[in-house]
Amino acid sequence: MESGKHIFQISGIKNHDKKRSLIKGIYKLGGKYIGGSVYKHTSTHLIIPQVLSSEKFLAACAAGKWVVTPDYVLDSVKNGSWLAEGPYEVAIFTSSSAAFYPVRQWREKVSKGRITGAFQGWRVLLMVQEPTRRAMFKRLLKAGRAEVYNCPPPTYTSITHVMAKPVTEKSNSHDAPCYPVSHIVQHLFGSNSMDMNFNITDDQLVKKKTLFHDDNFSHLEADVKSFVTKKEERPRLCFLEFLGYHDPDRPHSQAIVADLSNVSSMIECGLFNEALDSIRSDAFPGLLPPATHLISLLEYALQGDATAIFLRNFHEVMVNLLLINPPWWGPSSVKKYYAQVLQCPQCKTGLWPFLETAIRYCLSSSVTCHPLPGPSLPTLVQFHSDMVAFCLKLFQGELYSISSGDFALLQPTRGPSTPTPGSLLYGTFWTVWERSTLLSRAVKQLTQLIVQAATMDFAEQEEKQKVYLADTLLHLLSVLVEFWCQQHFRLNQCLVEKGLKDLSEHFAVISQDLSPAVLVELVGCVRSSRLRLVMADSIFRNLCCRNDFTVGDEPLSLKKMVRSYLPALGTLAQSPSDARHETGPTSHSCTSPGTSRMQNLLENETSSEKENTPRGLNRVNAAGETLLHRACKRNQVETVLQILALPGTDVNVKDHAGWTPLHEACNHGSTECVEALLHHRPAPVLNGQVGGVSPLRDALLNGHMDIAKILLEHAGSVLLQTDGDGQASLDLVSTPGQREELLRSAQVGDSNRRNRATEVLNLPLLEAGSCLLGHLIVSYQLERGLPGLIQPSDKPHSLVYKLVRALETHSLQKVTTDWTDQRAVRLVEDVETLLELSQGKHQEQVSVVVKECKGESTVFLMKILESLRSCGEALVADL
């Protein structure tokens, strides 16, 4: 037998190690293994240790498949190739000590072509009340090639068997003999079933080893809820670099401000370099230079007269100061010290205005707290960039101070595990009144600056499509989001979920005019898996919405990604290309007043749109006809093209009677306008009717055969439907020759539609969607703890297997009945989706155009889906 014909299922082997060795041997010899608890007709072999009362065994008997012992695989591995199955076929010994092969008779009949299955010719009315058992019996009967019908049977079918459980008067009322479901076993094995000790009752036929009783599912919910809570509470960003920042032998609470009077004199005399050198030489743990000295040196640096060496040395002094006197382990006075230094020396309005000014100066923006030296000096741009990085390191350290529980063994003596009320992160990004919301005024401003930074980086590095300053700012956003979430999670989980949702949706809206390539780069730069998950989800949904594909607003889950997001990729692949996304952003929604580069782009676009806007665009006549209607009636194709080129044009706009521009073009024979409308994206509605009149019928009623053929060549035979009055479109054509022409055009249209179905019209958008969905799945695995990232020794691993065992014997609704924690329910749904993927379900959710795409991100997404399927198979195989 060819290796491609060795497709195995396994039943009755509970030893995990033995099962793994069998699966490994199957793959080693080029075979295939199908997991799951139900019989699969594509299998060719079933491995069982002995005769079993299982669905797989009975179905394999009925289908005439090979049923062999485990030794068949093990001996074949030793042989290096597949052996003959005969010596390994499952047998039993009857009371007369004669060997009996229960499967052989049916296998030989099927292999010789005498029958197709043990139940060939049966037309069964299946009357089993319990849904799970009914599904099992249906699979079993269909394995033996029976035709199975539910009650009531079709009127055109003659039933040969009624299979019932329980047998009632209703089941006996049909014109066919009624049998209990145990008749299936009697038919397969006859009198030998007694010698086999295989006298199976109805209940034994569907009995499985149940690890959970109904009253145990509440305990399972408690385990799942505990696991989900621990996953949510764990720190996302761990900074190993800060392990050396705390010396337990040096109490930071004794930090004092040094008396450096000589430095004050140097500053007054303009000896800034000498003053900075003196401060650097006197830097010791527990000793802080006067804040006024650093403020004076910072003011000198911001004036634009300092050398590059001075600016670099000042940054090094600040970093060293942070290293030896970290504020997160010190008292509130140390935090106040840094807050006093890190602000604009002139405005003195706090750390966030100082940080915002530094970012805006790097973006060449004139909107700062006070005028800075301009045009932007390269050395000063680098200095501001260094100060942004310094503030990021400061905030990282503060986040580290509240999330360093993972390093408790490395640090026997730690400072306080939570920040003091004088937290620099809180004071910078949230006022006292804003701390219950993640999306504060400062956080909103930071997100807008991220979009501006991405715009600038993309414009300057268009070929590479990389982000640089935006990368640093996204890292800063990750830090403050994790800080806020860790502060609020234990108190209010719903508040955290709402805060993340508000932030991600806000970012998706203000960044919607960025190209998909830049959006993907931004998502990839997010360090926090929690933030990356919600951002990728919001941006993906925003892309779908902008391309006429709407997904539900239910909570994110693996089922939602498989059933809703995967089909969306097909829509993205065939969405029209957007020129604005190819050249960069043009909208003002993500810019601030005073951003010169973006302002120029906006002014140029606005002026060019005004020049190309035809006169009378916004005028509607008494009939409700727009300029597009009137141009189509007069076949003014130049005007039509001008209107269609304008953003936001509704190609399906209706007049007071309900007629669209396409109706008018078809009615008046405006061939060129019809072609222009058909090439527009989004495409016009072709089968819309007004009083039963579609565009095709409008063309035929007025004798415009050329337009009718154009419509059919574009959309195919789907347009050849019955109109509102019950008359087919072809009935409007008088001669057979014209009917044949229209039918040939429809055939051409059908062929074109099939070709378009496998053609990627917008590869950049598909690649962006695939990359975002890949980020979603991987981040979701990290956040939810799904299999694939869990080691066998981990406790969550055993919990996942408990869920698999429960779902093997009960439905999802049965397992989660009366569960109150929806996060726990979603985790069970995720495991169920993994099991469905392992069984080959949901393959139809991926369109052909996506499967055949060779784009790097799309190919990688397909590998991720295959990995999920393998995870599901491994879970089933290890049961």
Q: How large is the average pLDDT for residues 259-272? A: 81
* 782 against 786, higher pLDDT: 782
User: pTM here?
Assistant: 0.63
**Mean pLDDT of the chain, nearest integer:** 79
In the predicted structure, residue 587 carries a pLDDT above the cut 80? no
Q: Is 548 exposed, middle or buried (0-12, 13-18, 19+ CB in 10 A)?
A: exposed
CA distances from 192 to 47, 101, 156, 698, 794 (A): 21, 10, 37, 73, 48
In the predicted structure, residue 405 carries a pLDDT above the cut 60? no
Q: Is 400 exposed, middle or buried (0-12, 13-18, 19+ CB in 10 A)?
A: buried
DSSP element (H, E) containing 8? strand 7-10
Assign domain 3-111 one CATH number from 1.10.287.3510, 3.40.50.10190, 3.90.550.10, 3.40.1280.10: 3.40.50.10190
The region of weakest confidence among 506-520, 734-748, 760-774, 777-791 is 777-791
Q: How large is the average pLDDT for residues 692-721? A: 87
Token pair of 239 as six digits: 């900074």
Using DSSP's 3-state secondary structure scheme, residue 207 falls into: coil
Using DSSP's 3-state secondary structure scheme, residue 614 falls into: coil
pLDDT score of 421:
52
Q: How far apart are CA 588 and CA 602, in angstroms?
A: 7
DSSP element (H, E) containing 150? strand 147-150
Q: How far apart are CA 804 and CA 386, in angstroms?
A: 51
Q: Is 487 exposed, middle or buried (0-12, 13-18, 19+ CB in 10 A)?
A: middle
Q: How large is the average pLDDT for residues 138-159? A: 81
DSSP state of 563: I
Q: How large is the average pLDDT for residues 525-543? A: 91
What is the band of 411 on the pLDDT scale with cuts at 50, 70, 90?
very low
Greatest Cα pair distance in the chain? 116
pLDDT score of 533:
93
In the predicted structure, residue 78 carries a pLDDT above the cut 80? yes
* Contact criterion met (CB below 8 Å) for 778 and 741: no
Phi, psi of 105 (to 5 degrees): -60, -40
Q: How far apart are CA 479 and CA 464, in angstroms?
A: 27
In the predicted structure, residue 522 carries a pLDDT above the cut 70? yes
Closest CA to 89 of 57, 54, 127: 57
* 151 against 519, higher pLDDT: 519
In the block, tokens 């014997």 appear at 809
pLDDT score of 633:
92
Q: How far apart are CA 590 and CA 445, in angstroms?
A: 10
The three-state DSSP-derived secondary structure of 121-141 is CCEEEEEECCHHHHHHHHHHH
DSSP state of 616: T
pLDDT in tens, 618-661: 788 888 899 999 999 999 999 999 888 887 788 889 999 999 99
Q: How large is the average pLDDT for residues 822-830? A: 88
pLDDT score of 462:
46
Token pair of 676 as six digits: 């222009």
Closest CA to 35 of 9, 57, 11, 16: 9
Q: How large is the average pLDDT for residues 687-696? A: 85
What is the band of 386 on the pLDDT scale with cuts at 50, 70, 90?
very high
Percentage of the chain exceeding pLDDT 70? 80
DSSP state of 297: H
* 719 against 657, higher pLDDT: 657
In the predicted structure, residue 209 carries a pLDDT above the cut 60? no
pLDDT in tens, 750-769: 787 766 666 778 888 999 99
pLDDT score of 182:
80
Q: How far apart are CA 628 and CA 630, in angstroms?
A: 5
In the predicted structure, residue 580 carries a pLDDT above the cut 70? no
* 841 against 247, higher pLDDT: 841
Q: Is 153 exposed, middle or buried (0-12, 13-18, 19+ CB in 10 A)?
A: middle
In the block, tokens 């012992």 appear at 69
Q: How far apart are CA 565 and CA 312, in angstroms?
A: 48
pLDDT score of 468:
76
Phi, psi of 642 (to 5 degrees): -60, -45
Using DSSP's 3-state secondary structure scheme, residue 256 falls into: strand
Q: How far apart are CA 382 and CA 390, in angstroms?
A: 12
The region of weakest confidence among 114-123, 294-303, 726-735, 765-774 is 726-735
CA distances from 871 to 330, 799, 837 (A): 47, 15, 9
Q: How large is the average pLDDT for residues 454-478? A: 73
Q: How far apart are CA 180 and CA 173, in angstroms?
A: 14
What is the band of 419 on the pLDDT scale with cuts at 50, 70, 90?
very low
The most confident of the ranges 289-293, 388-392, 397-401 is 388-392
State which amino acid sits at residue 749.
G
Percentage of the chain exceeding pLDDT 90? 23
Q: In what order do the strands lie in the sheet with 123-128?
A: 147-150, 123-128, 161-165, 178-180
In the predicted structure, residue 243 carries a pLDDT above the cut 60? no
Closest CA to 484 of 319, 239, 237: 237
Token pair of 694 as six digits: 């579609």
Assign domain 611-757 one CATH number from 1.25.40.20, 1.10.3720.10, 3.40.50.300, 1.10.630.10: 1.25.40.20
Token pair of 241 as six digits: 């670099």
Beta bridge partners of residue 47, listed in sequence order: 10, 68
pLDDT score of 248:
44
Q: How far apart are CA 542 and CA 193, in angstroms?
A: 62
Q: Using DSSP bridges, classify how beta strands 7-10 and 45-47 pair: parallel, antiparallel or unpaired.
A: parallel
Cα distance from N-terminal residue to C-terminal residue, the chain: 29
Using DSSP's 3-state secondary structure scheme, residue 476 falls into: helix
What is the band of 90 on the pLDDT scale with cuts at 50, 70, 90?
confident
Residues in the chain: 879
In the predicted structure, residue 788 carries a pLDDT above the cut 70? no
State which amino acid sits at residue 651.
V
In the predicted structure, residue 155 carries a pLDDT above the cut 60? yes
Token pair of 319 as six digits: 């970093």
Using DSSP's 3-state secondary structure scheme, residue 162 falls into: strand
What does the radius of gyration of the chain's CA atoms come to, in whole angstroms? Answer: 36
What is the band of 673 on the pLDDT scale with cuts at 50, 70, 90?
very high
What is the band of 789 on the pLDDT scale with cuts at 50, 70, 90?
very low
Closest CA to 488 of 418, 556, 422, 576: 418
The region of weakest confidence among 182-191, 237-246, 785-794 is 785-794
Q: How large is the average pLDDT for residues 499-510? A: 92
In the predicted structure, residue 592 carries a pLDDT above the cut 50? no
Q: Using DSSP bridges, classify how beta strands 32-33 and 7-10 pair: parallel, antiparallel or unpaired.
A: parallel
pLDDT in tens, 47-68: 998 887 788 889 999 999 999 9
pLDDT score of 493:
82
Q: How large is the average pLDDT for residues 218-225? A: 81
Q: How far apart are CA 403 and CA 639, in angstroms?
A: 63
In the block, tokens 């004139």 appear at 366
pLDDT score of 758:
64
pLDDT in tens, 15-37: 888 888 898 899 889 899 888 77
pLDDT score of 376:
73
* 195 against 136, higher pLDDT: 136
Q: How large is the average pLDDT for residues 598-617? A: 52
CB atoms near residue 757 (< 10 Å): 13
Q: How large is the average pLDDT for residues 320-338? A: 83
pLDDT score of 17:
81
